[in-house]
């Protein structure tokens, strides 16, 4: 079994850019939505898992004033 540290300190960076392809997962989808909500600017999320939990998270974020829109196809911006 792999053990991971309790926390990971990362140095502050001015900007991050890249692409990450992850398998569908409720917890990863919800974490992605939370990170997108905390980020400045617009975040494009592709292949977000369509699940009850994800829809509840999107509704919760909207109730907190986070604007998001679903594009045609599997892409969502938050």
Tokens for 34, please give them: 């939370």
Answer whether 64's CB lies under 8 Å from 29's CB.
no
pLDDT at site 22:
66
Reported as type and span, the H/E element at residue 46 is: strand 44-46
Give mean pLDDT, residues 69-73. 76
pLDDT at site 21:
74
Domain segments of the chain as ranges: 26-77
Residue 76 vs residue 21, higher pLDDT:
21
Question: Which pTM was predicted?
Answer: 0.63
Distant-in-sequence, close-in-space partners of 54: CB < 8 Å, separation ≥ 6: 26, 29, 30, 33, 48
Segment 5-61, tens digit of pLDDT:
888 888 888 888 888 776 678 998 999 999 999 999 999 998 889 999 999 999 999
């Amino acid at each position: 079994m792999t053990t991971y540290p309790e926390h990971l300190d990362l140095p502050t960076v001015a900007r991050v850019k890249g692409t990450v392809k992850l398998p569908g997962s409720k917890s990863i989808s919800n974490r992605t939505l939370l990170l997108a909500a905390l980020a400045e600017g617009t975040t494009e999320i592709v292949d977000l898992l369509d699940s009850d939990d994800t829809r509840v998270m999107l509704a919760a974020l909207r109730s907190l004033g986070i604007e998001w829109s679903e594009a045609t196809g599997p892409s969502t911006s938050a």
